[in-house]
C-alpha cells in the first residue's frame, strides 16, 4: 500500500516537493561548556572546556573541565585531564585514537590543569555505550609538542598522523608580534624532526587574523588553507606554499574574525574538491581594538572555490546569506548539504576587549537565533535558505558549538563570552543547556533507512557488504552512501570534517560499497557510514578506514585519476 502510495506521489511529482521542517528539542545540561565538541561513538560526545568553575564535579570534588556527553541519558560524566584542554585543536589519527593538541597557558600554579600549550591528550576508541572506563591518557613530560601553541588547527593527513598548524604562544586577540607561532609541526614527529617546526610564510602573511587556520586535505594529498583573506595550497612533501586568489571583498575568516569553512562532498570518479567559506568580517584588520566595536556588522558573504586548474581560474564565487554572521558553525550533513548555525550578527571573537564589550561583557552582540541550510547542489543564488529552519531562544555566541551526532541530528550547545561561569543577570550568561536540532524525519519518527550490520573495518578500495533496509516510501528516491568524519569542532572551525560519497549497489537488503580508493581521498582513520535515501538518512555506523595501524602509515589503496590541485 505504501509502495503504491509513494509511486503515485512520485508520479504526481510530490516527492520532489517534500519540505523539511526542523525542530529544536532542549534536553539536559552539559555541566561544562562544550568549547570543543567531538562525536566519539554511537552514543557519546566528548566535550573539552576551560577550568573556570563549572557546575560538574570530578570524583575528587574539583570542578571539571572535560566531560563525556551521553546522547541517550542526556547527562554528562566528568573526565579528567592533566593539561589544560581549553583552546586546543585535534583530530582522530590512523589507529582510531582522538588526539587533542595544545591549549591554554597555566592559570593556577600548583593546581590542575597544568599548562596546556604543548599538550597531547590521547583518547582511545571508546566501546562502552556509557563511556565507562574511557579516559584521557597524558604523559606531559614525555609526550608533547615541539613548541607552545594556543588556537592551532589539528589535521589528520594522508599518512594518518596529525599536522599541527599555527597558533600563538599566549592568549591574544590579534595574533601579532614575537608571540605568534606561524609554523607547522607533525605528531608523531617525522624521523629526524623531533623538536623542530616548519616556518610558514602564508601564516606570517595572514597575521593578525590567522588563529585556527581553516585547513583541508585535498585528493592530491596537498593541504588547502585559508586564514584572514588569503588562501593557499601546501605541499607537505616538498614544503612549498602556492598562493590562491584572495577571498573577495576584504572578508576575513580565521579567528578572531571567525567565519566557518567546509570541504564540500567529494564524489567519484574524479573527486573534484570545492571549499565553502561563510561568514566572518570585512573589518580592516589594521584597526586596533580601541576602534572596533561589538556592534560592527559581520559579513553576509559565502564564497566557494573549486580547487582544480579550471576552478581556480574562475576564482571565488560569492553568494549572500539572508543575514550577516560571525562565530557561526557549519555542520556537514550526510546529504552533502551544510547547516549554518549559532553565532552573532555583529562583533568579533574573543573575550571582552573591543569597544562596547565592557557593557555587554561580550566581543559579539546581536545573537543569531535562526540557522540556515546551504543546499550544495542547488544553482548559485538559490543555495541558502531559512525555510523550515526554526528560531531558537538561546543565544549561542563565543564558545558555542554544534556537531552532527551518530543519530543524525545536530547537537547544539555552549556559549560563554567571558572567562568565568556567569549566570543571569549577565546579558549573555554561560550556557549549559543542550539542544538537538532534529530534521523532520527524526521529529516525526518517520521511516528512515537503517543499517543492520556492517564491517568494523574496510581497507582502501575494498568492497564490503552491509545489511540495510530502505522504507518503501523512500525506495524510489536517489540513494547515497556517505562516508564521513564529523570533525573536531571548536571556534566555528570543523577541522577534519569530510564527506566522501561511496560507489555502491543496493539490491534488496544488500548494500555493496567500495571504500575510497586511497588514503588521499580519505586520510586513514575512523569514519561513519550513513545511508541516504531520497534525502532521509540512517543513523551512522562507525568503521575504521585503512589498516588501523599507528601513524605514520605508508600509502594505501590504488592510484586513480583525479582532478584536484
Ligand atoms: C530527555 O531525555 C531523557 C533521557 O533520554 C528522556 O527520558 C526524556 O523523555 C527527554 N525529555 C524530553 C523533553 O525530550
Ligand atoms: C571498568 O573498570 C573497572 C576496573 O578495572 C572494571 O571492574 C569494570 O568492569 C570496567 N567497566 C567496564 C564497563 O568496562
Ligand atoms: C586582503 O587583505 C589585505 C590586507 O588588509 C588587503 O591589502 C587586500 O586588498 C585584501 N584583498 C582583497 C581581495 O580584498
Ligand atoms: C567602556 O568602553 C567605553 C567605550 O570604549 C569607554 O568609553 C568607557 O570608558 C569604558 N568603561 C569602562 C568602565 O571601562
Ligand atoms: C595510536 O598511535 C599513537 C601514536 O603512536 C599512540 O600513542 C596511541 O597509543 C595509539 N593508539 C592505540 C589505540 O594504539
Which of 122, 156, 548 for a ligand 5 pocket mutation test, highest count of atoms within 8 Å of Cβ? 122
d(CA 410, CA 434): 10
Claim to verify: residue 389 and residue 465 sit in the same structural domain: no
Claim to verify: residue 286 and residue 414 sit in the same structural domain: yes
d(CA 453, CA 457): 12
Identify the segments of the chain with pLDDT beneath 50: 1-18
| Residue 122 beta carbon below 6 angstroms from any ligand 5 atom | yes
Ligand with an atom nearest the CA of residue 75: 1
Question: Grid cell 566555528 — which residue?
Answer: 492
| Residue 358 beta carbon below 6 angstroms from any ligand 4 atom | yes
Residue 359: which region, alpha, beta or left (left: phi > 0; alpha: psi -120 to 50)?
alpha
| Residue 318 beta carbon below 6 angstroms from any ligand 4 atom | no
Atom of ligand 3 nearest to the CA of 251: 14
Residue 302 lies in a domain: yes
Domain harbouring 539, CATH code: 2.60.40.10
Domain boundary among 418, 443, 468: 443
Angle CA 469–471–472, to nearest 5: 125
Claim to verify: residue 333 and residue 435 sit in the same structural domain: yes
Residue 46 lies in a domain: yes
Atom of ligand 2 nearest to the CA of 130: 13
Question: Grid cell 538518512 — which residue?
Answer: 537
For the sheet containing 198-199, what is the strand order? 153-156, 162-165, 183-187, 198-199
Claim to verify: residue 498 and residue 365 sit in the same structural domain: no
C-alpha distances out from residue 247 to 231, 438, 492, Å: 7, 33, 18
Claim to verify: residue 416 and residue 455 sit in the same structural domain: no
Q: What is the DSSP string of 406-459?
A: TTSSEEEEE---SSS---TTSSS----EEEEEE-HHHHTT----EEEE--SEE-
> What does the pLDDT read at residue 8?
42
Residue 30 lies in a domain: yes
Domain boundary among 411, 443, 475: 443
Residue 461 lies in a domain: yes
Claim to verify: residue 424 and residue 531 sit in the same structural domain: no
Strands 410-414 and 433-438: antiparallel
> What does the pLDDT read at residue 270?
98
The CA 423 to ligand 5 mean position distance, Å, reads 40
Report the candidate in 331, 408, 407, 342 with the shortest Cα–Cα distance to residue 376: 331
| Residue 238 beta carbon below 6 angstroms from any ligand 2 atom | no
What does DSSP assign to residue 178? G
How many residues are given for the chain?
565
What does DSSP assign to residue 9? H
The CA 366 to ligand 3 mean position distance, Å, reads 27
Ligand with an atom nearest the CA of residue 143: 5
Claim to verify: residue 435 and residue 476 sit in the same structural domain: no
The grid coordinates listed for 475 are 525506495
The CA 37 to ligand 3 mean position distance, Å, reads 33
d(CA 318, CA 297): 18
Domain boundary among 443, 465, 480: 443
Claim to verify: residue 118 and residue 168 sit in the same structural domain: yes
> What does the pLDDT read at residue 20?
74
Claim to verify: residue 203 and residue 105 sit in the same structural domain: yes
What does DSSP assign to residue 145? -
Claim to verify: residue 169 and residue 139 sit in the same structural domain: yes
By alpha-carbon position, which residue is closest to atom 5 of ligand 5?
550
Atom of ligand 4 nearest to the CA of 293: 5
What does DSSP assign to residue 161? S
Domain harbouring 218, CATH code: 2.130.10.80
Under 8 Å between Cβ of 219 and 263: no
Domain hosting 467: range is 450-545
Ligand with an atom nearest the CA of residue 139: 5
The CA 559 to ligand 1 mean position distance, Å, reads 48
Report the candidate in 441, 385, 432, 375 with the shortest Cα–Cα distance to residue 408: 441
Rounded to 5 degrees, φ, ψ at 7 are -65, -45
Report the candidate in 249, 314, 245 with the shortest Cα–Cα distance to residue 282: 249
> What does the pLDDT read at residue 30?
98
| Residue 239 beta carbon below 6 angstroms from any ligand 4 atom | no
Ligand with an atom nearest the CA of residue 284: 3
d(CA 404, CA 412): 9
| Residue 291 beta carbon below 6 angstroms from any ligand 4 atom | no
Atom of ligand 5 nearest to the CA of 95: 1
| Residue 355 beta carbon below 6 angstroms from any ligand 4 atom | yes
Under 8 Å between Cβ of 537 and 448: yes
d(CA 15, CA 82): 53
The per-residue pLDDT of the chain, averaged, comes to 96
**Stated pTM of the model:** 0.96
Report the candidate in 205, 107, 97 with the shortest Cα–Cα distance to residue 154: 97
What residues are in contact with ligand 3 under a 6 Å CB criterion?
229, 246, 248, 250, 285
Claim to verify: residue 477 and residue 430 sit in the same structural domain: no
The CA 462 to ligand 3 mean position distance, Å, reads 46
Residue 294 lies in a domain: yes
Atom of ligand 5 nearest to the CA of 143: 7
| Residue 360 beta carbon below 6 angstroms from any ligand 5 atom | no
Ligand with an atom nearest the CA of residue 24: 1
Residue 5 lies in a domain: no
| Residue 72 beta carbon below 6 angstroms from any ligand 1 atom | yes
d(CA 17, CA 15): 5
The CA 240 to ligand 5 mean position distance, Å, reads 29
Please tell me the total count of domains within the chain: 2
Residue 139 lies in a domain: yes
Claim to verify: residue 141 and residue 166 sit in the same structural domain: yes
| Residue 14 beta carbon below 6 angstroms from any ligand 2 atom | no
Which of 90, 92, 93 for a ligand 5 pocket mutation test, highest count of atoms within 8 Å of Cβ? 93
Amino acid at each position: 500500500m505504501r509502495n503504491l502510495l509513494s509511486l503515485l506521489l512520485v508520479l504526481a511529482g510530490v516527492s520532489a516537493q517534500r519540505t523539511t521542517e526542523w525542530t529544536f528539542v532542549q534536553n539536559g545540561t552539559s555541566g561544562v561548556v562544550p568549547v570543543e565538541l567531538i562525536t566519539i561513538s554511537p552514543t557519546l560526545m566528548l566535550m573539552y572546556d576551560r577550568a573556570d568553575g563549572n557546575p560538574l564535579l570530578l570524583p575528587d570534588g574539583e570542578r571539571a573541565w572535560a566531560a563525556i556527553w551521553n546522547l541517550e541519558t542526556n547527562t554528562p560524566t566528568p573526565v579528567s585531564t592533566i593539561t589544560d584542554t581549553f583552546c586546543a585543536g585535534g583530530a582522530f589519527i590512523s589507529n582510531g585514537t582522538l588526539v587533542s593538541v595544545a591549549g591554554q597557558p597555566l592559570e593556577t600554579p600548583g593546581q590542575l590543569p597544568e599548562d596546556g600549550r604543548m599538550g597531547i591528550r590521547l583518547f582511545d576508541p571508546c566501546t562502552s555505550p556509557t563511556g565507562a572506563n574511557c579516559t584521557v591518557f597524558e604523559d606531559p613530560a614525555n609526550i608533547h609538542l615541539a613548541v607552545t601553541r594556543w588556537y592551532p588547527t589539528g589535521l589528520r593527513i594522508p599518512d594518518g598522523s596529525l599536522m599541527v598548524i599555527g597558533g600563538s604562544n599566549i592568549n591574544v586577540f590579534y595574533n601579532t608580534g614575537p608571540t605568534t607561532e606561524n609554523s607547522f609541526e607533525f605528531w608523531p614527529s617525522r624521523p629526524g624532526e623531533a623538536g623542530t617546526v616548519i616556518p610558514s610564510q602564508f601564516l606570517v602573511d595572514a597575521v593578525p587574523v590567522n588563529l585556527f587556520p581553516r585547513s583541508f586535505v585535498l585528493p592530491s594529498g596537498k593541504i588547502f588553507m585559508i586564514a584572514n583573506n588569503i588562501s593557499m595550497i601546501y605541499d607537505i612533501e616538498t614544503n612549498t606554499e602556492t598562493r590562491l586568489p584572495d577571498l573577495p571583498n576584504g572578508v576575513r575568516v580565521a579567528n578572531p574574525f571567525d567565519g566557518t569553512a567546509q570541504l564540500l562532498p567529494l564524489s567519484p570518479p574524479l573527486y573534484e574538491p570545492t571549499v565553502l567559506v561563510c561568514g566572518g568580517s570585512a573589518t580592516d584588520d589594521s584597526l586596533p581594538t580601541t576602534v572596533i566595536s561589538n556592534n560592527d556588522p559581520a559579513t553576509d558573504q559565502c564564497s566557494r572555490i573549486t580547487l582544480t586548474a579550471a576552478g581556480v581560474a574562475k576564482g571565488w564565487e560569492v553568494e549572500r546569506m539572508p543575514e550577516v554572521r560571525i562565530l557561526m558553525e557549519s555542520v556537514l550533513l550526510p546529504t552533502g548539504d551544510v547547516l549554518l548555525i549559532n553565532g552573532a550578527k555583529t562583533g568579533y571573537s574573543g573575550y571582552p576587549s573591543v569597544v562596547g564589550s565592557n557593557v555587554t561583557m561580550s566581543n559579539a552582540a546581536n545573537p543569531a537565533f535562526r540557522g540556515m541550510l546551504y543546499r550544495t547542489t542547488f544553482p548559485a543564488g538559490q543555495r541558502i535558505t531559512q525555510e523550515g529552519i526554526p528560531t531558537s531562544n538561546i543565544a549561542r555566541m563565543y564558545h558555542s558549538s554544534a556537531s552532527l551526532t551518530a543519530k543524525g541530528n545536530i547537537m547544539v550547545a555552549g556559549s560563554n563570552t567571558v572567562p568565568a561561569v556567569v549566570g543571569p543577570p549577565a546579558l549573555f550568561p554561560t550556557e549549559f543547556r543542550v539542544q538537538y536540532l532534529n530534521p523532520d524525519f527524526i521529529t516525526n519518527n518517520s521511516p528512515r533507512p537503517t543499517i543492520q550490520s556492517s564491517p568494523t573495518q574496510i581497507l582502501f578500495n575494498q568492497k564490503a557488504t552491509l545489511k540495510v533496509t530502505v522504507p518503501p516510501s523512500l525506495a524510489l528516491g536517489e540513494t547515497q552512501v556517505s562516508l564521513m568524519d564529523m570533525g573536531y569542532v571548536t571556534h566555528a572551525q570543523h577541522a577534519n570534517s569530510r564527506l566522501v560519497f561511496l560507489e555502491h549497489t543496493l539490491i534488496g537488503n544488500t548494500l555493496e560499497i567500495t571504500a575510497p580508493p586511497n588514503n588521499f581521498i580519505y586520510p586513514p582513520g575512523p569514519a561513519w557510514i550513513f545511508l541516504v535515501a531520497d534525502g532521509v538518512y540512517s543513523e551512522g555506523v562507525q568503521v575504521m578506514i585503512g589498516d588501523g595501524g599507528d601513524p605514520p602509515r605508508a600509502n594505501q589503496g590504488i592510484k586513480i585519476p583525479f582532478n584536484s590541485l
